[in-house]
Amino acid sequence: MNDNDSHATDLDARLDAIYEATLDFDADAVARMVAKEVELGTDLQTLINDALIAAMEELGELFAEGEVFVPELLMGAKAMKAGLEILRPLLTATEAKPRGVALMGTVHGDLHDIGKNLVGMMLEGGGFEVHDLGVNVAPEEFWDAAQELRPDVIGLSALLTTTTPNMRRTIELFRGRGWNGHIMVGGAPVSKDFAAEIGADDYASDAPGGVVLAKRYVAGG
C-alpha cells in the first residue's frame, strides 16, 4: 500500500468515526473530531457529505423504517449540528455555496416549534442555508423575510387545528402577490389533501420527508 492509499484509508476511518458518533448522538465527540479534521486540512465538503450528511440520511431511513423515533432524530440532529457549528465560519469564509436557501416558521397563533426545529436542523445537515423565523409568525413577516432572502423553499408549520387557517392566509398572501416559489407545510393536523386545498406545493409528514421535498425542489423536481 502506497502513502496515498494509506492516507485515504486513514481518512475513511476518521470519517466513519464521525458518522458513528453522530448516530450515537455524541455531540461532544462529533465536535472534537470535526475540529481535528479541520486542523488536518480535510476537505470541508467531504467532511460534511461523507460523515455528517450521510449519518443524518441513515437516521432518516431508520426513521422511515420505524427503527428510530422523533427523540432519536432530535439527538442525532443536535450531534450533527455540533459538527456544523465548527465548520460554519470556515464555510462562510470560503463562500461555499449551500445546496439551497430555506425559510422556516410556525404560523401566527401557534407557539409549537419542536417539529419545525427538527426540520431546520436536518435541512442544515442536508446542506441548506436555513433561516428560522421562530413561532407565531404573521403572514407579512413571512413575506418580508422572503423578499429579503429569496428562499428556494418556504416551510410553514402548525400543531394546532385552530392555527392551520393561518397557513392558508400566508399562502394566499404569497400567491396573491405573485410568489411562484416552493411552499411546503407540515404538522400534526396537516394532510396532503389540506396542503393541496390551501395552495401549498406539498406536505411532509415528518422531518426526513421535508428534507427530501426540499432537495427535490432545488434539483428542479
- Distance between start and end Cα atoms, the chain: 44
Instruction: Tell me the pLDDT band of 51, cut-offs 50, 70 and 90.
Output: very high
| CA diameter of the chain | 65
Using alpha carbons, select from 191, 57, 163 the residue that is nearest to residue 105: 163
Residue pointed to by grid coordinates 395552495: 199
Instruction: Tell me where in the chain the CATH 1.10.1240.10 domain(s) lie.
Output: 1-96
Distance CA(30)–CA(82), nearest Å, equals 7
* Topology at the third CATH level for domain 1-96: 1.10.1240
> What residues does CATH 3.40.50.280 cover in the chain?
98-221
Q: Which three cell numbers stand for residue 11?
A: 481518512
pLDDT, residue 165, reads 97
Mean pLDDT on 94-118: 88
* Average pLDDT of the residues in 124-134: 90
pTM, rounded to two decimals: 0.73
Question: Can you tell me the distance from the alpha carbon of 58 to that of 92, in angstroms, rounded to the nearest whole number?
Answer: 27
Beta bridge partners of 107: 137
Count other Cβ atoms within 10 Å, centred on residue 32.
Answer: 15
C-alpha to C-alpha distance for 2 and 39, rounded to whole angstroms: 23
Q: Is the pLDDT of residue 159 over 60?
A: yes
User: What pLDDT was estimated at residue 144?
Assistant: 98
| Alpha carbons within 13 A on the beta-carbon side of 44 | 17
Amino acid letter, 84: L
Residue 208 CA neighbour count, 13 Å, CB half:
21
- Cite the beta strand spans of the chain per DSSP E: 100-106, 128-132, 153-157, 182-186, 202-203
Tell whether the model's pLDDT for residue 192 goes beyond 70.
Answer: yes
Mean predicted confidence (pLDDT) in 119-132? 88
**Which of these CATH numbers, 3.40.50.300, 3.40.50.280, 3.30.750.24, 3.90.1150.10, describes 98-221?**
3.40.50.280
What gap in Å lies between CA 173 and CA 166, rounded to an integer?
A: 10
Average pLDDT (178-197) is 95
Mean pLDDT of 141-154: 98
